[in-house]
Amino acid sequence: MIGPMTEYATTDLNVAAFLIARGWKLRRLDGPRTSRSFVFEAAAKDDVQRFFLNELVGARDFASALKQLKSALHHTP
């Protein structure tokens, strides 16, 4: 279960990849296999606005984060 002040969760793969590219660690995947949430520490939420303001991250970092997340989605029961 997601704590009200201790964690931030998103179902958006691109937002999650952006957060990882910004240096945030994925805590875990939550929810059923068909509707996973990517869970980060609460402070990561501050960087989500940067995603929607089109802040740049390294292309390789973003691509690597996408690959990591897709692998986690496919290999986590």
Query: pLDDT digits over 7-20, tens only?
Result: 999 999 999 999 99
Give me the pLDDT at residue 65, please.
Answer: 98
Element (H, E) at 63: helix 59-75
Give domain status of residue 42, yes or no. yes
Whether the pLDDT of residue 2 is over 60: the answer is no
Give domain status of residue 41, yes or no. yes
Give domain status of residue 38, yes or no. yes
The predicted model scores a pTM of: 0.88
pLDDT tens, residue by residue, 31-75? 888 889 999 999 999 999 999 999 999 999 999 999 999 999 988
Phi/psi at 40 (5° precision): -125, 170
Give domain status of residue 1, yes or no. no
Give domain status of residue 45, yes or no. yes
Give domain status of residue 33, yes or no. yes
**Domain of 50, in residue numbers:** 7-75
Total tally of structural domains belonging to the chain? 1
Phi/psi at 31 (5° precision): 95, 175
Give domain status of residue 56, yes or no. yes
